[in-house]
């Protein structure tokens, strides 16, 4: 159960009372991310998120911000995604007021000091370098470029070194003024606190926050044809691959059907991919699949690292498992997948951080919060016919995309393998 109040300035406050826990988690969701950026300002959302930890007028240094929370045993962090930015803090219940004050201070009163900007610029460039040097991360970036060619969804969230070097302080302040607005923000809190006292506290610290500009929207995604294969030759021990297809948007009625198909395919050590590719064939140490849902698009991606000489064998074996999803799912396997999905959800909901994230993310992106019981009922109602029909529709040969990073020639005929 949750309660929701919208303040006079448009800020949405959502709470869930968890009387059994001594922790309180605060999540502040901002409706902006890398897909809201143009190419010249790629990475600006991520840059701003970093700088909010650099210092405020009340707490002038990054150390003072972190010490305020870590000094009471709490955790504070943030993250930028393609469609949202989240700032969060988890503390013991007695320190709720402090945590709220620190987060509000960061969002509303960060200094954006010129020296801090230049230091953090170098930190982000090193973050970009680190990601490029990691084959497992690099192959994920490349598959996004094939799934969403020429679109912000296909770019690295951190931007490029060139765009990060060009972002100015004024550009960041202008972007923040248009995106960081109360009507574009959700504060979600879970813990052993009453809704009324939380709303009063937030009104006191953030009720005067006002949006003075019109909020800038995102570029809608329209499917377009593009490359199906991208190989980046690297001198590595493994060949890292991502095999992907376009998926379904967040609001699609069959979203949970696709999620369940993904569990059957590649989530957990009893999934088909793990059982076949690792256990039976011994081709990979790690292999998994995951699903992403965005406001107007989505994806299904399989990620693995294999011995270069066995790359083609591994790709064929993975494609065989994808193709098998179009066949009827046996009832015992369907039942197991449902129980895994429901069980993982119930375990997540034991933690106040997960509960606050569950509520706030849904409210911000969809304007509707499904309860845990709602989702359990949806999962229970999924039939084998629905799974098969969705698999036959989505798993089309022409939709396959493949990226590889490793000791593989760029002219290798891997594209010929993309058949179902």
Residues recognised as catalytic: 49
Token duo for residue 73? 């045993």
Q: Which of 96, 86, 77, 78 is nearest to 22 (CA)?
A: 96
Half-sphere exposure of 298 (CA within 13 A, CB side): 19
Give the DSSP per-residue string, 112-153.
--HHHHHHHHHHHHHHHHHHHH-HHHHHHHHHHHHHSTTSGG
Contacts of 349 (CB under 8 A, 6+ apart): 355, 358, 372
Place of tokens 């022409």: 398
Contacts of 192 (CB under 8 A, 6+ apart): 17, 18, 19, 20, 21, 22, 24, 93
Query: What phi and psi, each to the nearest 5 degrees, are found at residue 74?
Result: -90, 180
Cα gap 25→190, rounded to integer Å:
5
Contacts of 255 (CB under 8 A, 6+ apart): 248, 249, 293, 298
């Amino acid at each position: 159960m949750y309660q929701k109040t919208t303040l006079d300035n448009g800020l949405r406050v959502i709470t869930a009372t968890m009387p059994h826990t001594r922790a309180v988690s605060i999540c502040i969701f901002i409706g902006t991310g890398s897909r809201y950026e143009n190419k010249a300002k790629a990475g600006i959302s991520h840059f701003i998120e970093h700088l909010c930890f650099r210092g405020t007028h009340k707490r002038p240094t990054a150390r003072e911000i972190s010490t305020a929370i870590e000094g009471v045993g709490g955790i504070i962090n943030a993250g930028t995604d393609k469609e949202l930015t989240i700032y969060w803090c988890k503390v013991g219940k007695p320190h709720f007021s402090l945590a709220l004050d620190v987060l509000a201070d960061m969002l509303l009163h960060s200094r954006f000091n010129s020296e801090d900007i230049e230091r953090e610029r170098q930190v982000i460039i090193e973050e970009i370098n680190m990601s490029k040097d990691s084959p497992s991360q690099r192959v994920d970036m490349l598959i996004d470029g094939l799934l969403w060619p020429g679109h912000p969804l296909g770019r690295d969230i951190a931007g490029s070194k060139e765009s990060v070097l060009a972002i100015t302080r004024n550009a960041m302040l202008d972007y923040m003024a248009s995106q960081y607005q109360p009507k574009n923000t959700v504060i979600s809190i879970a813990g052993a606190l009453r809704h009324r006292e939380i709303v009063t506290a937030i009104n006191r610290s953030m009720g005067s926050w006002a949006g003075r500009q019109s909020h800038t929207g995102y570029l809608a995604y329209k499917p377009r044809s593009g490359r199906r294969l991208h190989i980046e030759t690297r001198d590595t021990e493994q060949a890292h691959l991502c095999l992907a297809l376009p998926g379904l948007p967040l609001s699609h009625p069959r979203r949970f059907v696709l999620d369940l198909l993904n569990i059957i395919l590649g989530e957990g050590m009893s999934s088909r991919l793990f059982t076949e590719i690792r256990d039976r064939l011994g081709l990979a140490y790690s292999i998994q699949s995951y699903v992403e849902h965005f406001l107007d698009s989505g994806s299904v991606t399989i990620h693995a690292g294999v011995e270069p000489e066995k790359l083609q064998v591994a790709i064929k074996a993975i494609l065989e498992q994808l193709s098998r999803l179009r066949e009827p799912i046996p009832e015992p396997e369907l039942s197991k997948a449902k129980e895994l999905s429901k069980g993982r959800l119930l375990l997540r909901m034991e933690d106040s951080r997960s509960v606050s994230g569950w509520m706030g993310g849904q409210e911000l992106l969809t304007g509707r919060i499904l309860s845990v019981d709602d989702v359990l009922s949806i999962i229970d109602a999924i039939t084998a016919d629905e799974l098969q029909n969705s698999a036959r529709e989505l798993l089309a040969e022409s939709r396959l995309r493949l990226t590889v990073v490793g000791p593989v020639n760029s002219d290798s005929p891997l594209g010929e393998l993309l058949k179902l």
